[in-house]
Homo-oligomer: A and B are copies of this chain.
Amino acid sequence: MSPKSKQQNELIKVGRKHEISATALKLFAENGFQHTTISAIAKEAGIAKGLLYNYYDSKEALIKEIIISELHQFTNLFDSNNDGILTAEEFEFFIKNTIATLKKNPEHWKLYFAAFLQKDVLQILRHELEAKLMPQYLILIDYYRRKGETNPEAAALLLTATLDGISLNYIHAPDAYPLEALGELILQKFK
């Protein structure tokens, strides 16, 4: 008799939205952005096409929201509450942790990288990303300075680039890639 309560509706909406984005994410990872249609997403999510537009204004908006939300999660990985001084021990932990994270969900990382190459998406998040990553970067520079590196900035950038490159290569052929061995080697060369 009576309509659904506001809380009920809110629950439904949040659930649906998450359902849609999860489905879309899955299909993007499976088939790529280009070949993932709204129809396919709706079908896979078990809803009518039209409903999707109750939650996202357009396909473009859907893709962007998903990527942005993924990148948000990504940037949160780098939130640290340490004292600003990186010890050799912490360095080792950082590297191993990065590798473990990578191993846990390669598909997500593929999306991150795809996102990095989407000009407009990146634009939106650039400031946020920089704000998140800058402290880490500064700590790394300090680490290398204390170690007596001639060009600590370059050293920090090199480590970052190496980790990016490993990630990129790993997500392409997760099964065959010797992540751990590379982790060891990084510690040898970069610690």
Q: A116 an interface residue at 8 Å Cβ cutoff?
A: yes
Q: How large is the interface on A (under 10, 10 to 19, 20 to 34, 35 or more residues)?
A: 35 or more
Q: A2 an interface residue at 8 Å Cβ cutoff?
A: no
Stretch of A15-23, A26-34, A64-72, A80-88 on the interface side: A26-34
Chain B: minimal CB distance from A169 (Å): 5
Tell me whether B154 and A116 are in contact (CB under 8 A).
no
Within 8 A of B (CB), among A170-191: 172, 177-178, 181-182, 184-186, 189-190
Q: A168 an interface residue at 8 Å Cβ cutoff?
A: yes
Tell me whether A185 and B34 are in contact (CB under 8 A).
no
Tell me whether B165 and A160 are in contact (CB under 8 A).
yes
Tell me whether A120 and B160 are in contact (CB under 8 A).
no
Q: Contact partner of A118 among B30, B34, B157, B185, CB < 8 A?
A: B34
Complex contacts, A116 vs chain B, CB 8 Å:
168, 172
Interface CB pairs A-B, < 8 A, 26 = A32-B118, A34-B34, A34-B118, A35-B120, A113-B168, A151-B181, A151-B184, A151-B185, A154-B178, A154-B182, A157-B177, A157-B182, A158-B182, A158-B185, A160-B165, A161-B162, A161-B165, A161-B166, A162-B162, A163-B165, A164-B164, A164-B165, A164-B168, A165-B166, A168-B168, A189-B189
Q: A95 an interface residue at 8 Å Cβ cutoff?
A: no
Q: Contact partner of A32 among B30, B110, B120, B165, CB < 8 A?
A: B120
Q: A114 an interface residue at 8 Å Cβ cutoff?
A: yes
Give complex CA distance A77, B86 in Å.
39
Q: A146 an interface residue at 8 Å Cβ cutoff?
A: no
Tell me whether B161 and A181 are in contact (CB under 8 A).
no
- Residue interface mask A148-162, B partner, CB < 8 A = 1: 000101110110111
